[in-house]
């Protein structure tokens, strides 16, 4: 079963803690973004996932959505959906009509979408503020991040933070093999009603689905 690269990356981010100093200005910005995200009861975002070569040539561009409520989340991307009700994860591949079921283990370093928007950076990265960029009418603060665990497949992550909104605008990942992956937030809605049932995979809605239970 194919896996979402997005969540392969998120899982890879769960690294070891290294006691080194970070840029205090970058930390202030990241802390503000984390605090604002934690103030939302629900979040719904659409994003674009782009792949580039080391020369900057675009290889592909795809769109997806993510919804979050407390510890629950749902991601739809490139023919796949991931449901999580806070304890169980369903990874559904539409092309094969197969869903893999597993337990969410908070103790194994797994990075959920919620953690990606909050304080994952303190344990797994060194970071510094590079400066200001303008995209349209947005003023963006660029933060360069490097993983403390050098065995990771990527060597640098660039975050662009919307200075006024105090939210993440985009994340660019530079892999050691030269590939580049960018996630850009196209829209963000907060504190909208979300039914808890939407975070649970209902196999009755998918006739003939093959269930692979790894619990």
Which tokens is 169 given?
A: 């605008």
CA angle 53, 117, 20 (to 5 degrees): 80
**Domain span at 93:** 5-197
Question: Has residue 214 been placed in a domain?
Answer: no
> Which residues does residue 3 pair with via DSSP β-bridges, in sequence order?
none
Question: Has residue 209 been placed in a domain?
Answer: no
Q: Please give the pLDDT value at position 107.
A: 53
Question: Has residue 185 been placed in a domain?
Answer: yes
Question: Has residue 11 been placed in a domain?
Answer: yes
Q: Which residue has the tokens 């998918």?
A: 206
Question: Has residue 175 been placed in a domain?
Answer: yes
Low-confidence ranges of the chain (pLDDT < 50): 1-19, 109
The CATH number of residue 117's host domain is 2.50.20.10
- Whole-prediction pTM: 0.79
Question: Has residue 215 been placed in a domain?
Answer: no
Question: Has residue 213 been placed in a domain?
Answer: no
> Which residues does residue 92 pair with via DSSP β-bridges, in sequence order?
81, 99
pLDDT tens, position by position, 10-64:
433 333 333 356 889 999 999 998 889 889 999 999 999 899 888 878 888 999 9
- Residue 52 backbone dihedrals phi, psi, to 5 degrees: -130, 155
Q: Please give the pLDDT value at position 142.
A: 96
Domain total in the chain: 1
Mapped onto helix, strand or coil, the DSSP state of residue 97 is: coil
Which tokens is 85 given?
A: 């009700």
- Half-sphere exposure of residue 74: CA atoms within 13 angstroms, side-chain side: 14
How far apart are the C-alpha atoms of 76 and 66, rounded to whole Å? 6
Q: Please give the pLDDT value at position 12.
A: 37
């Amino acid at each position: 079963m194919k896996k979402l690269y997005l969540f392969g990356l998120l899982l890879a981010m769960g690294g070891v803690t290294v006691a080194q100093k970070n840029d205090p200005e970058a930390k202030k910005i990241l802390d503000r973004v984390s605090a604002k995200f934690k103030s939302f009861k629900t979040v719904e975002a659409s994003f674009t996932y782009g792949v580039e070569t080391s020369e900057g040539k675009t290889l592909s561009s795809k769109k997806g959505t993510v919804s979050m409520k407390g510890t629950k989340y749902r991601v739809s991307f490139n023919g796949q959906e991931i449901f999580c009700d806070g304890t169980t994860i369903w990874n559904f591949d539409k092309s094969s009509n197969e869903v893999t079921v597993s337990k969410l283990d908070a103790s194994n370093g797994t990075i959920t979408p919620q953690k990606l928007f909050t304080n994952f950076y303190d344990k797994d990265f060194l970071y510094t503020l590079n400066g200001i960029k303008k995209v349209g009418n947005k003023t963006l603060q660029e933060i360069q991040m490097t993983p403390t665990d050098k065995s990771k497949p990527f060597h640098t992550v660039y975050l662009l933070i919307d200075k006024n909104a105090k939210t993440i605008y985009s994340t660019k990942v530079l892999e050691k093999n030269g590939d580049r992956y960018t996630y850009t937030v196209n829209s963000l809605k907060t504190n909208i009603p979300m039914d808890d049932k939407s975070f649970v995979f209902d196999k009755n809605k998918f006739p003939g689905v093959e269930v692979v239970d790894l619990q």
